[in-house]
Structure 1
Amino acid sequence: MKDDQRLSRVERRKRELEQQELEASRLNGERSSDEPSNIEEPSNINEAWRQNRQGEGAPVQSEHPFLNEKSTDSSKPNYGTSKKRKKRMPRIPSFSKSKRKTSQSKSNHATQQSKPAKSPKQEVDHSSKPSNKRKRKWKGKVALLLIFLLLVGGYVATSPFTFLIMGSDARVGESLSGSRTDSLQLMEFVPRSRTVQNVSIPRDTYTAIPCEPDRDGDKITHAFAYGGATCTVGAVEGLTDASVDGQVVITFESFMELIDLIGGVNVTATHSFSEKGFNQTYEYTEGVSYAMDGDMALAYARHRKSDTDGARSNRQTEVMTAVAEKLANPSGWTKIPATYRFMKEEMGLEMNVLQMASVGLTMISNPDVNKMQVEGQDAYINNVYYYEPLEESVQSIRDALDLSMWGTVR
């Protein structure tokens, strides 16, 4: 009976302890998770049960096996229930993520807005925009200037160009000063009409000489002996009414050196004759083409025993045309700088780059060569022989040389 009462008391006490435990767990749930008091209460259950049993006069056992098991077992879930019943902040993942996204987007937007103000490169770009515009303006002006210069250069290069070739009779080793012009050729190059006007002036032509103001006239060959190239140019301009743009003086020696410098010329003989050169005697047959070196070309150009001065002038024109064709050919382009330098230093060449372009453009276009000669008659003045030009011949030459820039007669 005592055992039943004891068990019933134990059961009652068990229920009381469970009730206390429930109340303690409820209190623990209401407390914050940082307070440790809810953990310490279940560990004093055995001590409370001992004190109660002493008050009732019941024998006290060190540990009641049932209570120990229940207490230990019940203590374990208490921690679990206390943890489970802790108030946790509700998680709203969608709200928090959206906040993060919006905050990130705001921060990105803020950084994007702040980048132009902070980046020095963009500041440099903004500051360099005016300089870039200035550079573009300058580039545009330079391009317009180049186009203008090209147009002007093309216009000048394609304008008619008159050139005087003076052949001196100074022999090899002789001084040019005091010599006379053995031949005179006035050449007018007209690139736009692809024509070349070639006027041959006989050496004994009677005309006014600028450097001989006391005389009405003299042989045109004497102009070089009295006043050099300047006086000769003046005499030719007075006779033909043409404006001489460029000139060159050729001696026997410089003539041969020029032909050898460009590697010789190919000339088809227009007359059959023999002529002694410095190295040997050469035979020429009409219609036969010859590859001539300097000595052979000079012998061909200076022959005049078997025909007239006019025929000799034509042969000289043939040789000079062969030189121009040799240089105008693509294989002769590399020889142009050396040829120009030689003619400038050794022949007194007066011709600028645009004038050379005019000659080159004309010769490349396979031009029509209009050969003319001052026609005249033999005359003796004070028992001195002269070649007196006919007025009709001189006037026709003046009209032929008076061309527009397109190569038409004015």
Structure 2
Amino acid sequence: MNDDQHLSRVERRRRELERERLTEQARLDEQTRLEEDARHETPQHQGPVEDRFTNDSNRSTDTEQGEHPFLNRQADDARTAHASNKKAESKRKTSKLRNRGFSLPFGKKRKAKPRRDERREPVRDTREPKRKDERRDAATAAPKEKPHRRRWKGKVLAILLLLGLVAGYMATSPVTFLVMGSDARVGESLSGSRTDSLQLMEFVPRSRTVQNVSIPRDTYTAIPCEPEREGDKITHAFAYGGADCTVGAVEGLTEASVDGQVVITFETFMELIDLVGGVNVTATHSFSEKGFNQTYEYTEGVSYAMDGDMALAYARHRKTDTDGARSNRQTEVMSAVADKLASPTGWTKIPATYRFMKDEMGLEMNPLQMASIGMTMALQPQVDKLQIEGEDAYIDNVYYYQPTEASVQAVRDALDLTMWGTVR
């Protein structure tokens, strides 16, 4: 006898229902597999599968209805489990479809992810938080700009410092400057005029000294623009070749290299004094001299506040003394102008004075040379006055001032200075 015959009718029915449930579960699994295959193949198998599913469902329903309450409850449990499995399977299918990028015709739609070429690198979502190693790399990489900028700042500062040192070195180098006083009267042209006075000045800032060499106008020397003659009066150099010829004659006589120059006439001399607001000069000789406006009386040792006309009369007087004394008075006036510009009240007048001397007096001097001269005068230097000494001489019945060899050599040695003001 079979083992099932010893069981009660209820137990046998329960086992039959359990076998039917397992059979139904296997059928559902098979149906699910077929539906998955049907999505990738032709839809010809969908009809028979659905028909079989419908027939089996009807038989199951007929079998499960109305024998016993216990059996009905078992059938309900089976149907509930079947519905749950079907719902879970449907969710799995939906999730697979969404992951593959298909849009669903119902429910909440998710944004489909665009397909990417496998050869491209995956694009990182900027909203994704960075990993710890990436944050650490970013934190260590960010401050690298600061040392780079500091290095550039250091290089720029080093270059500026080097330029400052070079400019300071050049600004404290000796400067030789030639002042040519033309005898052209007011309204007359410089062309064809002669130099009434020549002052060669060497400024040495580091030793706070000024070498001032006065060259008499009749000094006999070689003239570059008169090669056919052995020598001539140095005052004729300006008449024959202008400022360049005069500079060449002075350099040949003193063996000094002239760095800058200026040409002063009676008119520009007075305008320069008035431009700086007048000068204060203490007279070193007693005399009277007629100016353009009036006759002026000067007493030795008395200080005068001079305007342009009074200063010109003081500088050009030579009736009662020598050319050397007149050159000294001209130096006194020019030193007074420099002192006026070097004072705090005269700083604002330096640009206008520089423009006037450049435009009207033919000033040739670069900014570094100006700085050297201004620095020397601001330090209240010691002024060493030198003069070409000589003897009166007549050559072809023409008067000349013949310089002595010893005097010329002494001037050359005095001008041959180092940057520290010592003789080479």
TM-score when normalising by structure 2: 0.67
- CA RMSD, aligned part only? 1.9
**1:135 CA displacement:** 2.6
2:384 is matched with 370
Pair 1:337 & 2:351 matched: yes
Q: Which amino acid aligns with 1:316?
A: Q
| 1:290-305 map, 5 Å | 290-305=304-319
Question: Which one of 369, 372, 395 corresponds to residue 355 of structure 1?
Answer: 369
**1:134 CA displacement:** 3.3
**1:189 CA displacement:** 0.5
**1:117 CA displacement:** 4.8
Question: Which one of 153, 156, 159 corresponds to residue 145 of structure 1?
Answer: 159
Secondary structure of 1:287's counterpart equals coil
2:159 and 2:351 map into 1 onto residues whose CA distance is: 27
Query: Structure 2 regions of 5+ residues with no counterpart?
Result: 1-127
**1:178 CA displacement:** 1.1
**1:128 CA displacement:** 5.7
Secondary structure of 2:292's counterpart equals coil
Q: Which amino acid aligns with 1:368?
A: Q
After superposition, the C-alpha distances for 1:91-132 in whole angstroms (9 at most, x for unaligned) are: xxxxxxxxxxxxxxxxxxxx997588579xx95x86665544
2:140 and 2:185 map into 1 onto residues whose CA distance is: 75
After superposition, the C-alpha distances for 1:129-150 in whole angstroms (9 at most, x for unaligned) are: 5544433222211111111111
Question: Which one of 292, 310, 325 corresponds to residue 339 of structure 2?
Answer: 325
Secondary structure of 2:423's counterpart equals coil
2:382 and 2:235 map into 1 onto residues whose CA distance is: 29
Secondary structure of 2:336's counterpart equals helix
Pair 1:180 & 2:198 matched: no
Secondary structure of 1:192's counterpart equals coil
**1:360 CA displacement:** 1.2
Secondary structure of 1:212's counterpart equals coil
Pair 1:214 & 2:196 matched: no
Secondary structure of 1:351's counterpart equals coil
Question: Which one of 386, 389, 405 corresponds to residue 403 of structure 2?
Answer: 389
| 1:2-401 map, 5 Å | 114=131, 117=134, 129-401=143-415
1:347 and 1:127 map into 2 onto residues whose CA distance is: 63
2:331 and 2:291 map into 1 onto residues whose CA distance is: 19
TM-score when normalising by structure 1: 0.70
After superposition, the C-alpha distances for 1:236-293 in whole angstroms (9 at most, x for unaligned) are: 0000011101110111111100000000000000001111111111110000000000
After superposition, the C-alpha distances for 1:215-241 in whole angstroms (9 at most, x for unaligned) are: 000000010111111100000000001
**1:199 CA displacement:** 0.1
Query: Structure 1 regions of 5+ residues with no counterpart?
Result: 1-110
1:302 and 1:128 map into 2 onto residues whose CA distance is: 75
Secondary structure of 1:299's counterpart equals helix
1:313 and 1:352 map into 2 onto residues whose CA distance is: 26
Q: Which amino acid aligns with 1:174?
A: E
1:385 and 1:129 map into 2 onto residues whose CA distance is: 84
Q: Which amino acid aligns with 1:386?
A: Y
2:266 and 2:133 map into 1 onto residues whose CA distance is: 80
Cα distance change, pair 118–396 in 1 and its aligned pair in 2 (3 A): closer
Secondary structure of 1:395's counterpart equals helix
1:322 and 1:309 map into 2 onto residues whose CA distance is: 20
Q: Which amino acid aligns with 2:168?
A: G
